[in-house]
């Protein structure tokens, strides 16, 4: 047992006090883990666009003060009552959607939507007792996605932690904890392109480029990247994207442009933008008869998806996925192994690194559409 087990830990956390305002590094108290919970020391974390949407709180429910962060790697510090499969020192990746291993979803081969631990963006407390484990001078601070990794220590439910190979470098594999697995799984587990097929990827951030990587691994012969930001195209070439379309360069809808390039439509499309119009285009650009579109981007609270029903009657399939349909505890250790045995390259997704004290720079990069993933080191 570590010397801090059972005690409140005082440590640094980046607190979002208000929507859209820079995070403030504060000294906070982190309570010990309760029943079925684990307290971990975060070593590396990165920023995913989902953090930015809820921090901006423009199209999402505002909940402040809050500690954001859900893509990270850490080491177990102590465990609460009932936790048997993790112990202090284990290397773990926290995941925003969990796996209780007991519910119908966890027992189904098709679903990763655990009844107990599925993603809940509006909950800011632990599910066990409805309370927060974070406070500052007695004031509770909300959790985010059950992970809150922008803190030197955090508490999660045991079902939201994937135990990984301790030899895997956390400064690199931390990105498997959200974006990379999400994109890769959206293609490999959900869109399932066949060898030689054509795949369109909407949004060429880390999630979209991981989806492109999945298409490459599946043997797609054409991978068409769609983005509004032309600076994305240079980077995307490293990911096997063969053609690029910027909707701004055309005066007809992008789905028509893609249909023209592909004799009627792409075989598969994966949407990784969060923009509802891109979601509709991603659906309408797949070929009738067999095309499958997969939505990954997180929409605004009030968005509505509108398409003519005949687009569906014409034998197109629309799907969606959280976390690429991976079950965090059962499947993520093997995604890390794919990196360890060099099947999956992760370094090319990491374009920036900053110390924890400069975490707001990671937000600036993402808001400016610069680079892919920015790794934040907790120990400078
Ligand atoms: N479903 C899940 O499990 C899951 C998990 C992680 C992230 N996400 C979501 O995936 C999306 C991508 O995340 P990211 O971290 O890669 O973000 P990112 O900001 O790095 O990349 C998004 C890209 O989409 C492009 N884009 C935006 N609007 C567009 C449009 N209308 N048409 C074409 N391109 C457009 C942007 O220019 C950008 O390059 C976000 O919506 C994020 O919330 C979902
Ligand atoms: Zn994410
Ligand atoms: Zn479950």
Q: What is the pLDDT of residues 154-182, one digit of tens each?
A: 999 999 999 999 999 999 999 999 999 99
pLDDT at 36: 98
- Ligand 1, pocket-test mutation among 45, 46, 47, 50, most atoms within 8 A of CB: 50
pLDDT at 164: 98
Helices and strands in the chain, H and E counts: 11, 17
Who surrounds ion ligand 3 at CB < 5 A? Answer: 100, 103, 106, 114
Q: What is the CATH number of domain 182-321?
A: 3.40.50.720
Which one is catalytic: 39, 49, 66, 133? Answer: 49
For every residue of 85-96, DSSP letters joined together read: S--TT-EEEE-S
Torsion of CA 76, 78, 79, 85, to 10 degrees: 40
Distance, in Å, from the CA atom of 133 to the CA atom of 35, rounded to the nearest integer, reads 13
- Using 50 as the pLDDT threshold, list the residues of the chain that sit under it: none
Domain locations in the chain? 9-23+38-177+346-377, 182-321
Distance, in Å, from the CA atom of 15 to the CA atom of 30, rounded to the nearest integer, reads 13
Same fold across 9-23+38-177+346-377 and 182-321: no
pLDDT at 260: 98
Q: Which atom of ligand 1 is nearest to the CA of 206?
A: 16
CA distances from 173 to 41, 100, 167, 357 (A): 16, 23, 11, 21
Q: Whose CA is nearest to atom 30 of ligand 1?
A: 278
pLDDT at 119: 97
Q: Which residue reads 């054509």 in tokens?
A: 198
For residue 162, report the distance from its CA to the centre of ligand 3, in Å: 14
Q: Which residue reads 């202090």 in tokens?
A: 88
Q: What is the CATH number of domain 9-23+38-177+346-377?
A: 3.90.180.10
pLDDT at 380: 67
Residue 50 among the catalytic residues: yes
pLDDT at 272: 98
Beta strands in the chain (DSSP E): 9-15, 24-30, 37-46, 71-79, 91-94, 134-136, 139-141, 153-157, 161-163, 198-202, 222-226, 243-245, 268-271, 292-295, 317-320, 350-355, 373-377
pLDDT at 347: 97
Distance, in Å, from the CA atom of 256 to the CA atom of 262, rounded to the nearest integer, reads 10
């Amino acid at each position: 047992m570590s010397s801090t087990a059972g005690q409140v830990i005082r440590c640094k956390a980046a607190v979002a006090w208000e929507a859209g305002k820079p995070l403030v590094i504060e000294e906070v108290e982190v309570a010990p883990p309760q029943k079925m919970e684990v307290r971990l020391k975060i070593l590396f974390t990165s920023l995913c666009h989902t953090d930015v949407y809820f921090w901006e709180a423009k199209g999402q429910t505002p909940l402040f003060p809050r500690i954001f962060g859900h893509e990270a790697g850490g080491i177990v510090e102590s465990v609460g009552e009932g936790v048997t499969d993790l112990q202090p020192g284990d290397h773990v990746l926290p995941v925003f959607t969990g796996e209780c291993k007991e519910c119908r979803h966890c027992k189904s081969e098709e679903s990763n939507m655990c009844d107990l631990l599925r993603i809940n963006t509006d909950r800011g407390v632990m599910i066990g007792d409805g309370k927060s484990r974070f406070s500052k001078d007695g004031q509770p601070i909300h959790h985010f996605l059950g992970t809150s990794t922008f803190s030197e220590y955090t508490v999660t439910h045991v079902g939201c932690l994937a135990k990984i190979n301790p030899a895997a470098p956390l400064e690199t594999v931390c990105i498997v904890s959200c974006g990379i697995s999400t994109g890769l799984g959206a293609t490999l587990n959900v869109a399932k392109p066949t060898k030689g097929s054509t795949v369109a990827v909407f949004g060429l951030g880390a999630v979209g480029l991981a989806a492109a990587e999945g298409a490459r691994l599946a043997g797609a012969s054409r991978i068409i990247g769609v983005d509004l930001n032309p600076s994305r195209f240079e980077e995307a070439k490293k990911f096997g994207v063969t053609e690029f379309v910027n909707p701004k360069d055309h005066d007809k809808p992008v789905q028509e442009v893609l249909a023209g390039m592909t004799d009627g439509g792409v075989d598969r499309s994966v949407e990784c933008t969060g923009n509802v119009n891109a979601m509709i285009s991603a659906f309408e650009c797949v070929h009738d008869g067999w095309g499958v579109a997969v939505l990954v981007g997180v929409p605004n609270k009030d968005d509505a998806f509108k398409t003519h029903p005949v687009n569906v009657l014409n034998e197109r399939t629309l799907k969606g996925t959280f976390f690429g349909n991976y079950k965090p505890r059962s499947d993520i250790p093997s995604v890390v192994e794919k990196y360890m045995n060099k099947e999956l390259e992760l370094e090319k997704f990491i374009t920036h690194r900053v110390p924890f004290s400069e975490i707001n720079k990671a937000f600036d990069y993402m808001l400016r559409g610069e680079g892919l993933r920015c790794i934040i080191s907790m120990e400078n």
